[in-house]
Amino acid sequence: MPPVARNSRTRILEAAEALAREVGPGNLSLDAVAQRAGLSKGGLLYNFPTKAKLMEALVEHHVTRSRKALLVSRDAHAGKPNALARALIDVFKIECAEKGPRPSGVLAAIAENPGFLEPVRRHQQQMAAELKALSDDPDLACIVFLAVEGLRSQRLFEIDLFSEAESERLMDRLARLVEEQRPAGPGVTAP
């Protein structure tokens, strides 16, 4: 059997991800990726004809992954108000619990050229639009989004400001904010 372990592309993507973490996002070299993925540089360049394409794929991979998880979770909350905001919270909780490696592949892409963030931009734009459209209190929903994004960036940069327990507590608090859903009336405090 030739050393084809069921999908070179995936193996390459994973190797790149792991390597970016090890050598630093800006020091990712094709040689190293090829070696790590268990194929030759020629083989790598067959799958991704240029480094830019690899980076692109790295970002796209990450976006589709997290988007899929998000949509599943949203559907689980279907019917409730602010389903998407709740899903945002849930998915982050799950990601945290998984202790899955931080997506430093994305950092590698940014290092090469911040323009590679375009898919992320699009995805977030879409989410923000839905968030605003389907919420009784769009601003609050956005704040939830931003807070989750804040925690996410902490994770991305490996700044562990909050313990896992704390993060979870904060997420719960966010969830409570969303559920209470006071219709943005100023001044009135106690329900």
Partner DNA sequence: CTTACTGTACCGGCTGGACGGTATTGTCAA
Partner DNA sequence: TTGACAATACCGTCCAGCCGGTACAGTAAG
Q: Which residues bind a copy of itself (CB under 8 A)?
A: 24-27, 104, 107-108, 110-114, 117, 120-121, 124-125, 128, 139-140, 142-143, 145-154, 156-159, 161-162, 166, 169-170, 173-174, 176-177, 180, 182, 184, 186, 188-191
Nearer to DNA, 27 or 125 (CB): 27
* Secondary structure letter of residue 26 according to DSSP: G
Rounded (10°) angle between helices 138-156 and 164-180: 170
The answer to whether 104 contacts DNA (rule: CB under 7 A) is no
The contact mask relative to DNA for 44-83 (x = CB under 7 A, - = no) is -xxx-xxxx-------------------------------
Nearer to a copy of itself, 57 or 107 (CB): 107
The answer to whether 128 contacts DNA (rule: CB under 7 A) is no
d(CA 125, CA 121): 6
Nearer to DNA, 8 or 104 (CB): 8
Q: For residue 77, what are the contacts with CB-CB under 8 A and spacing of at least 6?
A: 83, 84, 86, 87, 90
The answer to whether 110 contacts DNA (rule: CB under 7 A) is no
d(CA 61, CA 57): 6
Q: For residue 32, what are the CA distances in angstroms to 11, 18, 187?
A: 13, 11, 60
Task: Pick the binder of DNA from 4, 72, 97, 184 (CB under 7 A).
Answer: 4
d(CA 73, CA 88): 8
Question: Among DNA, a copy of itself, none, what binds residue 4 when CB lies within 5 to 8 Å by partner kind?
Answer: DNA
CB of 140 to a copy of itself, least distance (A): 7
Query: What is the 3-state composition of the chain as percent helix, strand, coil, each rounded to the nearest 5?
Result: 75, 0, 25
The answer to whether 43 contacts DNA (rule: CB under 7 A) is yes
CB of 70 to a copy of itself, least distance (A): 16
What's the token pair of residue 178?
């969303």
**Cβ 12 vs Cβ 48: under 8 Å:** yes
**Which residues of this chain interact with DNA, rule CB under 7 A?**
2-4, 8, 27-32, 38-43, 45-47, 49-52
